[in-house]
Structure 1
Protein backbone atom coordinates (compact mmCIF):
# COMPACT_ATOMS: atom_id res chain seq x y z
CA UNK A 1 0.00 0.00 0.00
CA UNK A 2 2.00 2.97 -1.29
CA UNK A 3 1.56 6.33 0.44
CA UNK A 4 2.35 9.61 -1.29
CA UNK A 5 3.92 12.15 1.06
CA UNK A 6 3.50 15.65 -0.35
CA UNK A 7 5.72 18.26 1.31
CA UNK A 8 4.74 21.86 0.42
CA UNK A 9 7.73 23.89 1.57
CA UNK A 10 8.66 27.49 2.38
CA UNK A 11 10.84 28.26 5.38
CA UNK A 12 13.56 26.84 7.60
CA UNK A 13 15.93 24.69 5.53
CA UNK A 14 17.27 22.53 8.36
CA UNK A 15 13.80 21.69 9.65
CA UNK A 16 12.71 20.81 6.11
CA UNK A 17 15.66 18.41 5.84
CA UNK A 18 14.63 16.76 9.11
CA UNK A 19 11.09 16.36 7.79
CA UNK A 20 12.29 14.83 4.52
CA UNK A 21 14.71 12.49 6.30
CA UNK A 22 11.94 11.32 8.61
CA UNK A 23 10.00 10.14 5.56
CA UNK A 24 13.01 8.41 4.03
CA UNK A 25 13.72 6.66 7.37
CA UNK A 26 10.29 5.04 7.69
CA UNK A 27 10.17 1.37 8.73
CA UNK A 28 7.55 0.95 6.00
CA UNK A 29 9.43 1.84 2.82
CA UNK A 30 6.43 1.85 0.48
CA UNK A 31 6.32 5.63 0.01
CA UNK A 32 6.87 8.43 -2.52
CA UNK A 33 8.06 11.87 -1.39
CA UNK A 34 7.31 15.02 -3.41
CA UNK A 35 8.74 18.32 -2.13
CA UNK A 36 7.17 21.45 -3.63
CA UNK A 37 9.33 24.49 -2.86
CA UNK A 38 7.19 27.63 -3.08
CA UNK A 39 10.09 29.80 -4.18
CA UNK A 40 12.05 30.01 -0.92
CA UNK A 41 15.03 32.35 -1.61
CA UNK A 42 17.82 29.91 -0.77
CA UNK A 43 19.70 27.58 -3.17
CA UNK A 44 20.40 25.00 -0.45
CA UNK A 45 17.17 22.94 -0.79
CA UNK A 46 17.74 22.39 -4.52
CA UNK A 47 21.41 21.58 -3.94
CA UNK A 48 20.61 19.14 -1.14
CA UNK A 49 17.91 17.26 -3.01
CA UNK A 50 20.21 16.97 -6.03
CA UNK A 51 22.45 14.77 -3.85
CA UNK A 52 19.62 12.33 -3.12
CA UNK A 53 19.57 9.52 -5.67
CA UNK A 54 16.46 7.70 -4.41
CA UNK A 55 14.00 7.67 -7.33
CA UNK A 56 11.08 7.90 -4.88
CA UNK A 57 12.11 11.47 -3.97
CA UNK A 58 11.07 14.39 -6.21
CA UNK A 59 11.97 18.05 -5.65
CA UNK A 60 10.19 20.84 -7.53
CA UNK A 61 10.47 24.62 -7.20
CA UNK A 62 7.62 26.93 -8.17
CA UNK A 63 8.55 29.72 -10.56
CA UNK A 64 6.10 32.00 -8.74
CA UNK A 65 5.09 31.96 -5.09
CA UNK A 66 1.62 30.43 -4.81
CA UNK A 67 1.05 30.94 -1.08
CA UNK A 68 0.13 28.19 1.36
CA UNK A 69 -3.32 27.43 -0.03
CA UNK A 70 -2.15 27.53 -3.64
CA UNK A 71 0.81 25.27 -2.96
CA UNK A 72 -1.40 22.75 -1.15
CA UNK A 73 -3.79 22.71 -4.09
CA UNK A 74 -0.87 22.18 -6.47
CA UNK A 75 0.29 19.27 -4.30
CA UNK A 76 -3.07 17.56 -4.76
CA UNK A 77 -2.68 17.61 -8.54
CA UNK A 78 0.47 15.50 -8.18
CA UNK A 79 -0.97 12.68 -6.07
CA UNK A 80 -0.66 9.21 -7.60
CA UNK A 81 -0.99 6.68 -4.76
CA UNK A 82 -4.25 5.58 -3.13
CA UNK A 83 -3.30 7.33 0.13
CA UNK A 84 -1.64 10.67 0.74
CA UNK A 85 -0.15 12.80 3.53
CA UNK A 86 0.25 16.59 3.18
CA UNK A 87 3.10 16.95 5.63
CA UNK A 88 4.36 20.12 7.28
CA UNK A 89 7.90 21.07 6.26
CA UNK A 90 8.91 21.50 9.91
CA UNK A 91 7.27 18.36 11.33
CA UNK A 92 8.69 14.87 11.88
CA UNK A 93 7.31 11.42 11.18
CA UNK A 94 8.43 8.87 13.75
CA UNK A 95 9.69 5.65 12.11
CA UNK A 96 6.39 3.84 12.77
CA UNK A 97 4.14 6.49 11.17
CA UNK A 98 3.40 4.80 7.85
CA UNK A 99 2.85 1.44 9.53
CA UNK A 100 0.28 3.02 11.85
CA UNK A 101 -1.77 4.80 9.18
CA UNK A 102 -1.57 1.93 6.68
CA UNK A 103 -2.72 -0.44 9.43
CA UNK A 104 -5.68 1.82 10.20
CA UNK A 105 -6.76 1.96 6.56
CA UNK A 106 -6.42 -1.82 6.33
CA UNK A 107 -8.65 -2.26 9.37
CA UNK A 108 -11.19 0.32 8.11
CA UNK A 109 -11.05 0.06 4.30
CA UNK A 110 -13.86 2.59 3.79
CA UNK A 111 -12.30 5.29 5.97
CA UNK A 112 -11.42 8.66 4.45
CA UNK A 113 -8.80 9.95 6.87
CA UNK A 114 -6.64 8.70 9.75
CA UNK A 115 -5.45 10.72 12.76
CA UNK A 116 -2.50 9.02 14.50
CA UNK A 117 -1.06 9.89 17.89
CA UNK A 118 0.80 13.22 17.97
CA UNK A 119 3.34 14.86 20.29
CA UNK A 120 3.75 18.63 20.05
CA UNK A 121 7.32 19.96 20.00
CA UNK A 122 8.74 23.50 20.06
CA UNK A 123 11.25 25.22 17.77
CA UNK A 124 14.10 23.29 19.41
CA UNK A 125 12.38 19.92 19.09
CA UNK A 126 11.52 19.68 22.79
CA UNK A 127 8.16 18.19 23.78
CA UNK A 128 5.73 20.86 24.99
CA UNK A 129 2.06 21.38 25.74
CA UNK A 130 0.97 24.98 25.00
CA UNK A 131 -2.50 26.13 26.01
CA UNK A 132 -3.96 25.60 22.54
CA UNK A 133 -2.78 21.99 22.53
CA UNK A 134 -3.95 21.37 26.09
CA UNK A 135 -7.42 22.45 24.94
CA UNK A 136 -7.18 20.17 21.91
CA UNK A 137 -6.42 17.22 24.21
CA UNK A 138 -9.34 18.15 26.44
CA UNK A 139 -11.83 18.02 23.57
CA UNK A 140 -10.30 15.22 21.47
CA UNK A 141 -11.99 11.80 21.66
CA UNK A 142 -10.55 9.69 24.47
CA UNK A 143 -9.57 6.23 23.34
CA UNK A 144 -6.86 3.65 23.99
CA UNK A 145 -7.48 1.83 20.72
CA UNK A 146 -8.59 2.64 17.20
CA UNK A 147 -12.01 4.24 16.90
CA UNK A 148 -14.16 5.59 14.07
CA UNK A 149 -15.96 8.94 13.88
CA UNK A 150 -18.37 9.79 11.09
CA UNK A 151 -21.18 12.09 10.04
CA UNK A 152 -22.70 14.43 12.61
CA UNK A 153 -20.66 13.04 15.51
CA UNK A 154 -17.46 13.77 13.59
CA UNK A 155 -18.60 17.29 12.63
CA UNK A 156 -19.78 18.19 16.14
CA UNK A 157 -16.55 17.03 17.76
CA UNK A 158 -14.35 18.93 15.31
CA UNK A 159 -16.20 22.27 15.40
CA UNK A 160 -16.18 22.27 19.20
CA UNK A 161 -12.40 22.22 19.03
CA UNK A 162 -10.33 21.49 15.95
CA UNK A 163 -8.27 18.83 17.71
CA UNK A 164 -6.92 17.28 14.50
CA UNK A 165 -3.31 17.93 13.48
CA UNK A 166 -3.51 18.45 9.74
CA UNK A 167 0.13 17.65 8.78
CA UNK A 168 -0.14 14.31 10.60
CA UNK A 169 -3.32 13.18 8.82
CA UNK A 170 -3.28 10.44 6.20
CA UNK A 171 -6.04 10.70 3.59
CA UNK A 172 -7.76 8.52 1.04
CA UNK A 173 -6.50 10.19 -2.13
CA UNK A 174 -9.77 9.86 -4.03
CA UNK A 175 -11.64 11.69 -1.29
CA UNK A 176 -9.07 14.42 -0.84
CA UNK A 177 -8.53 15.17 -4.52
CA UNK A 178 -12.27 15.13 -5.23
CA UNK A 179 -13.16 17.55 -2.42
CA UNK A 180 -9.91 19.51 -2.40
CA UNK A 181 -8.98 22.66 -0.52
CA UNK A 182 -11.39 25.58 -0.55
CA UNK A 183 -9.78 28.49 -2.38
CA UNK A 184 -9.28 31.56 -0.20
CA UNK A 185 -8.93 29.71 3.10
CA UNK A 186 -5.46 29.88 4.67
CA UNK A 187 -6.08 28.98 8.32
CA UNK A 188 -9.10 26.66 8.43
CA UNK A 189 -8.57 24.87 5.12
CA UNK A 190 -7.84 21.59 6.92
CA UNK A 191 -10.95 21.82 9.10
CA UNK A 192 -13.03 22.72 6.05
CA UNK A 193 -11.91 19.55 4.30
CA UNK A 194 -12.67 17.39 7.33
CA UNK A 195 -16.14 18.91 7.68
CA UNK A 196 -16.80 18.37 3.97
CA UNK A 197 -15.98 14.70 4.52
CA UNK A 198 -18.29 14.51 7.54
CA UNK A 199 -21.12 16.24 5.66
CA UNK A 200 -21.12 13.58 2.95
CA UNK A 201 -21.15 10.76 5.50
CA UNK A 202 -17.44 9.99 5.44
CA UNK A 203 -15.40 8.76 8.37
CA UNK A 204 -12.24 9.45 10.33
CA UNK A 205 -10.18 6.85 12.20
CA UNK A 206 -8.32 7.81 15.36
CA UNK A 207 -5.32 5.68 16.30
CA UNK A 208 -3.76 6.91 19.57
CA UNK A 209 -0.37 5.29 18.90
CA UNK A 210 2.28 8.02 18.98
CA UNK A 211 3.86 8.31 15.53
CA UNK A 212 4.18 12.01 14.63
CA UNK A 213 5.89 15.12 16.02
CA UNK A 214 4.06 18.37 15.28
CA UNK A 215 6.11 21.54 15.60
CA UNK A 216 4.41 24.51 17.26
CA UNK A 217 6.12 27.89 16.99
CA UNK A 218 5.16 31.54 16.95
CA UNK A 219 6.43 32.16 13.43
CA UNK A 220 3.88 29.89 11.76
CA UNK A 221 1.39 31.41 9.31
CA UNK A 222 -1.56 30.66 11.58
CA UNK A 223 0.22 32.09 14.65
CA UNK A 224 1.01 35.36 12.87
CA UNK A 225 -2.55 35.61 11.60
CA UNK A 226 -3.87 34.89 15.10
CA UNK A 227 -1.89 37.67 16.76
CA UNK A 228 -3.02 40.32 14.29
CA UNK A 229 -6.59 39.03 14.26
CA UNK A 230 -6.73 37.89 10.63
CA UNK A 231 -7.10 34.26 11.69
CA UNK A 232 -10.28 35.01 13.59
CA UNK A 233 -11.87 36.97 10.76
CA UNK A 234 -11.52 33.85 8.64
CA UNK A 235 -12.69 31.53 11.43
CA UNK A 236 -15.76 33.61 12.28
CA UNK A 237 -16.97 33.71 8.68
CA UNK A 238 -16.25 30.02 8.28
CA UNK A 239 -18.17 28.95 11.39
CA UNK A 240 -21.17 31.06 10.38
CA UNK A 241 -21.34 29.19 7.08
CA UNK A 242 -20.91 25.82 8.80
CA UNK A 243 -23.67 26.56 11.31
CA UNK A 244 -26.10 27.20 8.46
CA UNK A 245 -24.90 24.18 6.53
CA UNK A 246 -25.40 21.81 9.45
CA UNK A 247 -28.79 23.31 10.25
CA UNK A 248 -29.87 22.60 6.67
CA UNK A 249 -28.70 18.99 7.13
CA UNK A 250 -30.76 18.69 10.31
CA UNK A 251 -27.61 18.32 12.40
CA UNK A 252 -28.68 20.52 15.30
CA UNK A 253 -25.81 19.64 17.65
CA UNK A 254 -23.21 20.36 15.00
CA UNK A 255 -24.98 23.58 14.02
CA UNK A 256 -25.01 24.86 17.61
CA UNK A 257 -21.38 23.89 18.14
CA UNK A 258 -20.40 25.81 15.00
CA UNK A 259 -22.49 28.84 15.98
CA UNK A 260 -20.84 29.05 19.42
CA UNK A 261 -17.30 27.99 18.26
CA UNK A 262 -16.37 28.18 21.94
CA UNK A 263 -12.72 27.16 21.78
CA UNK A 264 -12.07 29.53 18.88
CA UNK A 265 -13.40 32.39 21.03
CA UNK A 266 -11.33 31.24 24.01
CA UNK A 267 -8.26 31.21 21.79
CA UNK A 268 -8.92 34.82 20.80
CA UNK A 269 -9.39 35.73 24.46
CA UNK A 270 -6.07 34.15 25.41
CA UNK A 271 -4.30 36.39 22.90
CA UNK A 272 -5.63 39.70 24.23
CA UNK A 273 -3.02 40.00 26.99
CA UNK A 274 -0.28 38.84 24.62
CA UNK A 275 -1.29 41.50 22.10
CA UNK A 276 -1.19 44.20 24.79
CA UNK A 277 2.19 42.99 26.09
CA UNK A 278 3.64 43.16 22.58
CA UNK A 279 2.11 46.54 21.83
CA UNK A 280 -0.19 45.09 19.16
CA UNK A 281 -3.08 47.38 20.08
CA UNK A 282 -4.28 47.39 16.48
CA UNK A 283 -5.22 43.72 16.94
CA UNK A 284 -7.54 44.31 19.89
CA UNK A 285 -10.70 45.31 17.96
CA UNK A 286 -10.51 42.18 15.80
CA UNK A 287 -9.87 39.92 18.78
CA UNK A 288 -12.68 41.51 20.80
CA UNK A 289 -15.10 41.18 17.89
CA UNK A 290 -14.39 37.47 17.63
CA UNK A 291 -14.82 36.89 21.37
CA UNK A 292 -18.33 38.38 21.44
CA UNK A 293 -19.64 37.34 18.02
Structure 2
Protein backbone atom coordinates (compact mmCIF):
# COMPACT_ATOMS: atom_id res chain seq x y z
CA UNK A 1 0.00 0.00 0.00
CA UNK A 2 1.22 3.49 -0.84
CA UNK A 3 1.47 5.63 2.29
CA UNK A 4 -0.34 8.93 2.52
CA UNK A 5 3.03 10.69 2.87
CA UNK A 6 4.05 9.48 -0.59
CA UNK A 7 0.89 10.59 -2.41
CA UNK A 8 0.76 13.97 -4.09
CA UNK A 9 -2.13 15.73 -5.82
CA UNK A 10 -2.07 17.68 -9.07
CA UNK A 11 -4.89 20.21 -8.96
CA UNK A 12 -5.60 21.19 -12.56
CA UNK A 13 -7.75 24.25 -13.24
CA UNK A 14 -9.10 24.58 -16.82
CA UNK A 15 -9.63 28.34 -16.92
CA UNK A 16 -10.87 30.91 -19.40
CA UNK A 17 -9.00 34.11 -18.74
CA UNK A 18 -8.65 36.15 -15.56
CA UNK A 19 -11.31 37.16 -13.07
CA UNK A 20 -12.24 37.36 -9.41
CA UNK A 21 -13.67 33.84 -9.28
CA UNK A 22 -10.60 32.08 -10.66
CA UNK A 23 -8.52 33.97 -8.11
CA UNK A 24 -10.85 32.73 -5.36
CA UNK A 25 -10.30 29.21 -6.68
CA UNK A 26 -6.53 29.62 -6.52
CA UNK A 27 -6.80 31.09 -3.04
CA UNK A 28 -8.66 28.02 -1.83
CA UNK A 29 -5.79 25.83 -3.04
CA UNK A 30 -3.16 28.02 -1.40
CA UNK A 31 -5.14 27.76 1.87
CA UNK A 32 -4.92 23.94 2.03
CA UNK A 33 -3.71 22.63 5.38
CA UNK A 34 -1.91 19.72 3.73
CA UNK A 35 0.95 21.06 1.56
CA UNK A 36 1.32 18.03 -0.73
CA UNK A 37 -0.24 19.55 -3.85
CA UNK A 38 0.72 21.26 -7.08
CA UNK A 39 -1.57 23.69 -8.89
CA UNK A 40 -1.63 24.13 -12.67
CA UNK A 41 -3.90 26.70 -14.32
CA UNK A 42 -4.40 26.01 -18.03
CA UNK A 43 -5.83 29.11 -19.66
CA UNK A 44 -8.03 28.64 -22.74
CA UNK A 45 -8.88 32.32 -23.00
CA UNK A 46 -7.28 35.73 -22.79
CA UNK A 47 -5.18 35.60 -19.66
CA UNK A 48 -5.17 39.29 -18.80
CA UNK A 49 -3.23 39.66 -15.57
CA UNK A 50 -3.70 36.07 -14.41
CA UNK A 51 -0.18 34.85 -15.14
CA UNK A 52 1.40 37.84 -13.41
CA UNK A 53 -0.91 37.49 -10.42
CA UNK A 54 -0.07 33.80 -10.05
CA UNK A 55 3.64 34.62 -10.15
CA UNK A 56 3.11 37.22 -7.45
CA UNK A 57 1.86 34.50 -5.08
CA UNK A 58 5.47 33.38 -4.78
CA UNK A 59 4.66 29.67 -4.53
CA UNK A 60 6.77 27.31 -6.61
CA UNK A 61 3.94 24.76 -6.55
CA UNK A 62 1.85 27.03 -8.80
CA UNK A 63 2.29 27.18 -12.58
CA UNK A 64 0.43 28.83 -15.46
CA UNK A 65 0.05 27.37 -18.96
CA UNK A 66 -1.73 29.13 -21.81
CA UNK A 67 -3.14 27.36 -24.85
CA UNK A 68 -1.72 28.89 -28.07
CA UNK A 69 -5.15 28.54 -29.68
CA UNK A 70 -8.52 27.99 -28.06
CA UNK A 71 -9.22 24.30 -27.47
CA UNK A 72 -12.76 24.38 -26.07
CA UNK A 73 -13.93 22.75 -22.86
CA UNK A 74 -13.42 19.11 -23.84
CA UNK A 75 -9.91 19.46 -25.24
CA UNK A 76 -8.79 21.82 -22.47
CA UNK A 77 -9.90 19.21 -19.94
CA UNK A 78 -7.91 16.64 -21.86
CA UNK A 79 -4.85 18.87 -21.79
CA UNK A 80 -5.23 19.02 -18.00
CA UNK A 81 -5.09 15.22 -17.98
CA UNK A 82 -2.06 15.14 -20.27
CA UNK A 83 -0.12 17.67 -18.15
CA UNK A 84 -0.79 15.96 -14.80
CA UNK A 85 2.05 13.95 -13.28
CA UNK A 86 1.07 13.28 -9.64
CA UNK A 87 -0.49 10.09 -8.28
CA UNK A 88 -3.84 11.85 -7.84
CA UNK A 89 -5.44 14.40 -10.18
CA UNK A 90 -8.28 16.86 -9.59
CA UNK A 91 -9.89 18.95 -12.34
CA UNK A 92 -11.16 21.87 -10.33
CA UNK A 93 -13.61 24.34 -11.87
CA UNK A 94 -12.27 27.88 -12.23
CA UNK A 95 -15.15 29.20 -10.11
CA UNK A 96 -15.19 26.51 -7.41
CA UNK A 97 -13.39 26.45 -4.06
CA UNK A 98 -11.71 23.66 -2.14
CA UNK A 99 -12.52 23.35 1.53
CA UNK A 100 -9.33 23.66 3.63
CA UNK A 101 -9.03 19.95 4.47
CA UNK A 102 -9.65 18.65 0.93
CA UNK A 103 -6.09 17.60 0.10
CA UNK A 104 -5.47 15.96 3.46
CA UNK A 105 -8.67 13.95 3.43
CA UNK A 106 -8.18 12.77 -0.16
CA UNK A 107 -4.58 11.71 0.41
CA UNK A 108 -5.53 9.84 3.57
CA UNK A 109 -8.34 7.80 2.01
CA UNK A 110 -6.35 7.20 -1.19
CA UNK A 111 -3.63 5.57 0.92
CA UNK A 112 -6.22 3.40 2.69
CA UNK A 113 -7.92 2.36 -0.57
CA UNK A 114 -5.27 1.79 -3.26
CA UNK A 115 -7.87 -0.08 -5.34
CA UNK A 116 -10.02 3.06 -5.73
CA UNK A 117 -9.74 4.57 -9.22
CA UNK A 118 -11.42 7.80 -8.11
CA UNK A 119 -12.64 9.54 -4.97
CA UNK A 120 -15.79 11.65 -4.90
CA UNK A 121 -15.69 14.12 -2.04
CA UNK A 122 -19.03 15.80 -2.68
CA UNK A 123 -19.82 19.49 -2.48
CA UNK A 124 -21.54 22.35 -0.74
CA UNK A 125 -23.41 24.25 -3.47
CA UNK A 126 -22.92 28.01 -3.57
CA UNK A 127 -24.35 30.74 -5.77
CA UNK A 128 -22.84 33.70 -7.62
CA UNK A 129 -22.44 35.54 -4.31
CA UNK A 130 -20.50 32.68 -2.70
CA UNK A 131 -23.29 31.89 -0.25
CA UNK A 132 -24.83 28.46 0.21
CA UNK A 133 -27.57 27.89 -2.38
CA UNK A 134 -30.24 25.24 -2.91
CA UNK A 135 -31.54 24.47 -6.40
CA UNK A 136 -33.95 21.91 -7.79
CA UNK A 137 -31.04 20.20 -9.58
CA UNK A 138 -29.19 19.72 -6.31
CA UNK A 139 -32.28 18.46 -4.48
CA UNK A 140 -32.68 15.83 -7.21
CA UNK A 141 -29.00 14.91 -6.88
CA UNK A 142 -29.53 14.21 -3.19
CA UNK A 143 -32.50 11.98 -3.99
CA UNK A 144 -30.64 9.91 -6.60
CA UNK A 145 -27.33 9.60 -4.71
CA UNK A 146 -26.18 6.10 -3.79
CA UNK A 147 -26.93 5.72 -0.06
CA UNK A 148 -24.29 4.85 2.52
CA UNK A 149 -24.73 2.29 5.29
CA UNK A 150 -24.50 3.17 8.99
CA UNK A 151 -20.90 1.92 9.31
CA UNK A 152 -19.82 3.89 6.23
CA UNK A 153 -21.48 7.05 7.52
CA UNK A 154 -19.66 6.69 10.83
CA UNK A 155 -16.33 6.14 9.03
CA UNK A 156 -17.00 9.05 6.67
CA UNK A 157 -16.76 7.21 3.33
CA UNK A 158 -17.72 4.07 1.44
CA UNK A 159 -15.90 2.00 -1.18
CA UNK A 160 -18.15 0.87 -4.03
CA UNK A 161 -18.31 0.29 -7.77
CA UNK A 162 -19.71 -2.04 -10.42
CA UNK A 163 -23.32 -2.05 -11.57
CA UNK A 164 -24.84 -0.50 -8.41
CA UNK A 165 -22.80 2.67 -8.81
CA UNK A 166 -23.18 2.76 -12.61
CA UNK A 167 -26.97 2.34 -12.41
CA UNK A 168 -27.21 5.02 -9.75
CA UNK A 169 -25.25 7.52 -11.86
CA UNK A 170 -27.32 6.73 -14.95
CA UNK A 171 -30.48 7.28 -12.94
CA UNK A 172 -29.20 10.77 -12.18
CA UNK A 173 -25.59 11.97 -12.25
CA UNK A 174 -25.33 13.16 -8.66
CA UNK A 175 -21.54 13.53 -8.63
CA UNK A 176 -19.93 16.98 -8.60
CA UNK A 177 -17.10 16.59 -11.08
CA UNK A 178 -14.70 19.21 -9.61
CA UNK A 179 -14.86 17.33 -6.29
CA UNK A 180 -13.45 14.11 -7.78
CA UNK A 181 -9.81 13.05 -7.34
CA UNK A 182 -8.71 10.47 -9.92
CA UNK A 183 -5.81 8.06 -9.89
CA UNK A 184 -3.62 9.28 -12.71
CA UNK A 185 -3.27 5.95 -14.53
CA UNK A 186 -6.98 5.16 -15.13
CA UNK A 187 -7.64 8.83 -15.84
CA UNK A 188 -5.00 8.88 -18.56
CA UNK A 189 -6.04 5.50 -19.92
CA UNK A 190 -9.64 6.57 -20.44
CA UNK A 191 -9.45 10.36 -20.76
CA UNK A 192 -12.13 12.54 -22.34
CA UNK A 193 -13.68 11.56 -25.65
CA UNK A 194 -14.21 14.30 -28.20
CA UNK A 195 -17.78 15.25 -29.02
CA UNK A 196 -19.05 15.34 -25.44
CA UNK A 197 -19.07 18.54 -23.37
CA UNK A 198 -22.06 18.13 -21.06
CA UNK A 199 -21.72 14.42 -20.24
CA UNK A 200 -17.94 14.16 -20.42
CA UNK A 201 -17.76 13.51 -16.67
CA UNK A 202 -20.44 10.79 -16.63
CA UNK A 203 -18.85 9.13 -19.63
CA UNK A 204 -15.49 9.04 -17.85
CA UNK A 205 -16.95 7.57 -14.64
CA UNK A 206 -18.81 4.85 -16.52
CA UNK A 207 -15.87 3.78 -18.67
CA UNK A 208 -13.67 3.53 -15.56
CA UNK A 209 -16.34 1.50 -13.74
CA UNK A 210 -16.92 -0.81 -16.73
CA UNK A 211 -13.16 -1.42 -16.77
CA UNK A 212 -13.32 -2.68 -13.17
CA UNK A 213 -12.51 0.56 -11.37
CA UNK A 214 -13.93 1.27 -7.93
CA UNK A 215 -14.73 4.53 -6.17
CA UNK A 216 -14.60 6.03 -2.70
CA UNK A 217 -17.58 8.24 -1.85
CA UNK A 218 -17.18 10.73 1.00
CA UNK A 219 -20.17 11.43 3.20
CA UNK A 220 -19.04 15.00 3.99
CA UNK A 221 -18.29 17.57 1.27
CA UNK A 222 -14.79 18.48 0.14
CA UNK A 223 -15.44 21.52 -2.08
CA UNK A 224 -17.74 24.46 -2.64
CA UNK A 225 -19.35 24.06 -6.07
CA UNK A 226 -20.60 27.24 -7.69
CA UNK A 227 -23.86 26.98 -9.58
CA UNK A 228 -24.91 29.99 -11.62
CA UNK A 229 -26.78 30.85 -14.81
CA UNK A 230 -23.59 31.52 -16.79
CA UNK A 231 -22.49 27.90 -16.63
CA UNK A 232 -22.22 25.84 -19.82
CA UNK A 233 -24.84 23.35 -18.65
CA UNK A 234 -27.37 26.12 -17.89
CA UNK A 235 -26.83 27.84 -21.24
CA UNK A 236 -27.13 24.68 -23.30
CA UNK A 237 -30.21 23.56 -21.40
CA UNK A 238 -32.08 26.65 -22.62
CA UNK A 239 -31.26 25.89 -26.27
CA UNK A 240 -31.95 22.15 -26.10
CA UNK A 241 -28.46 21.14 -27.29
CA UNK A 242 -27.75 19.71 -23.85
CA UNK A 243 -30.58 17.22 -24.22
CA UNK A 244 -29.56 16.23 -27.74
CA UNK A 245 -26.11 15.37 -26.42
CA UNK A 246 -27.58 13.48 -23.47
CA UNK A 247 -29.96 11.45 -25.65
CA UNK A 248 -27.13 10.43 -27.96
CA UNK A 249 -24.94 9.52 -25.03
CA UNK A 250 -27.53 7.51 -23.11
CA UNK A 251 -28.14 5.33 -26.17
CA UNK A 252 -24.43 4.62 -26.31
CA UNK A 253 -24.24 4.07 -22.55
CA UNK A 254 -27.04 1.50 -22.72
CA UNK A 255 -24.97 -0.49 -25.21
CA UNK A 256 -21.88 -0.14 -23.00
CA UNK A 257 -23.73 -1.36 -19.92
CA UNK A 258 -25.23 -4.29 -21.84
CA UNK A 259 -21.74 -5.28 -23.00
CA UNK A 260 -20.55 -5.13 -19.38
CA UNK A 261 -23.36 -7.53 -18.37
CA UNK A 262 -25.15 -4.89 -16.29
CA UNK A 263 -28.85 -5.03 -17.29
CA UNK A 264 -30.07 -2.72 -14.52
CA UNK A 265 -27.58 -0.02 -15.54
CA UNK A 266 -28.52 -0.49 -19.22
CA UNK A 267 -32.20 -0.01 -18.35
CA UNK A 268 -31.37 3.16 -16.37
CA UNK A 269 -29.52 4.51 -19.42
CA UNK A 270 -32.46 3.83 -21.74
CA UNK A 271 -34.96 5.48 -19.38
CA UNK A 272 -32.68 8.40 -18.26
CA UNK A 273 -35.62 9.80 -16.33
CA UNK A 274 -33.87 12.72 -14.63
CA UNK A 275 -32.75 14.09 -18.01
CA UNK A 276 -36.34 13.83 -19.30
CA UNK A 277 -37.71 15.57 -16.20
CA UNK A 278 -35.14 18.33 -16.62
CA UNK A 279 -36.34 18.87 -20.20
CA UNK A 280 -39.97 19.02 -19.01
CA UNK A 281 -39.07 21.61 -16.36
CA UNK A 282 -37.26 23.74 -18.95
CA UNK A 283 -40.18 23.36 -21.36
CA UNK A 284 -42.62 24.74 -18.79
CA UNK A 285 -40.48 27.84 -18.25
CA UNK A 286 -40.11 28.38 -22.00
CA UNK A 287 -43.86 28.07 -22.54
CA UNK A 288 -44.45 30.66 -19.83
CA UNK A 289 -42.07 32.98 -21.68
CA UNK A 290 -43.82 32.19 -25.01
CA UNK A 291 -40.64 30.79 -26.52
CA UNK A 292 -42.50 28.27 -28.63
CA UNK A 293 -39.72 26.85 -30.77
CA UNK A 294 -37.26 25.97 -27.98
CA UNK A 295 -40.20 24.65 -25.94
CA UNK A 296 -41.00 22.26 -28.79
CA UNK A 297 -37.36 21.14 -28.80
CA UNK A 298 -37.63 20.37 -25.09
CA UNK A 299 -40.84 18.40 -25.61
CA UNK A 300 -39.28 16.27 -28.32
CA UNK A 301 -36.30 15.61 -26.08
CA UNK A 302 -38.51 14.62 -23.15
CA UNK A 303 -40.57 12.03 -25.08
CA UNK A 304 -38.04 10.81 -27.67
CA UNK A 305 -37.27 7.10 -27.74
CA UNK A 306 -34.47 7.29 -30.32
CA UNK A 307 -31.23 9.28 -30.13
CA UNK A 308 -30.64 12.17 -32.54
CA UNK A 309 -28.26 11.70 -35.44
CA UNK A 310 -24.84 12.51 -34.06
CA UNK A 311 -21.20 12.13 -34.99
CA UNK A 312 -18.75 11.92 -32.10
CA UNK A 313 -15.02 11.72 -32.09
CA UNK A 314 -13.10 9.07 -30.21
CA UNK A 315 -9.86 8.58 -28.39
TM-score (normalised: structure 2): 0.90
Question: Offset of 1:217 from its aligned partner?
Answer: 0.5
Match of 2:87 in 1: 82
Do the aligned partners of 2:116 and 2:216 also contact (CA within 8 Å) in 1? Answer: yes
Match of 2:204 in 1: 193
Question: Offset of 1:106 from its aligned partner?
Answer: 1.6
DSSP-derived class of the 1:60 partner: strand
Match of 1:37 in 2: 43
Do the aligned partners of 1:37 and 1:60 also contact (CA within 8 Å) in 2? Answer: yes
- Structure 1 alignment gaps of length 5 or more: none
Match of 1:94 in 2: 99
DSSP-derived class of the 1:69 partner: helix
Match of 1:288 in 2: 299
Do the aligned partners of 2:283 and 2:296 also contact (CA within 8 Å) in 1? Answer: no
Match of 1:139 in 2: 144
Looking at structure 2, the residues matched to 4 and 212 of structure 1 have their Cα atoms a distance apart, in angstroms, of 16
Do the aligned partners of 1:232 and 1:286 also contact (CA within 8 Å) in 2? Answer: no
Q: Give the alignment's Cα RMSD to 1 decimal.
A: 1.3
Do the aligned partners of 1:233 and 1:286 also contact (CA within 8 Å) in 2? Answer: no
Greater Cα shift, 145-154 or 278-287: 278-287
Looking at structure 2, the residues matched to 115 and 22 of structure 1 have their Cα atoms a distance apart, in angstroms, of 18
Match of 1:157 in 2: 168
Looking at structure 2, the residues matched to 164 and 238 of structure 1 have their Cα atoms a distance apart, in angstroms, of 17
Question: Offset of 1:11 from its aligned partner?
Answer: 5.6
Match of 2:30 in 1: 24
DSSP-derived class of the 2:83 partner: coil
2:69 to 64, 73, 89: 64
Match of 2:183 in 1: 172
Looking at structure 2, the residues matched to 165 and 12 of structure 1 have their Cα atoms a distance apart, in angstroms, of 23
DSSP-derived class of the 1:119 partner: strand
DSSP-derived class of the 2:300 partner: helix
The alignment covers a number of residue pairs equal to: 292
Looking at structure 1, the residues matched to 194 and 296 of structure 2 have their Cα atoms a distance apart, in angstroms, of 26
DSSP-derived class of the 1:210 partner: coil
DSSP-derived class of the 2:12 partner: strand
DSSP-derived class of the 1:112 partner: strand
- After superposition, the C-alpha distances for 1:209-241 in whole angstroms (9 at most, x for unaligned) are 222100000110111011110000000000001
TM-score (normalised: structure 1): 0.96
Looking at structure 1, the residues matched to 122 and 219 of structure 2 have their Cα atoms a distance apart, in angstroms, of 4
Match of 2:21 in 1: 15
Match of 1:252 in 2: 263
- Structure 2 alignment gaps of length 5 or more: 1-6, 305-315
1:107-146 alignment, distance < 5 Å: 107-143=112-148, 144=153, 145-146=156-157
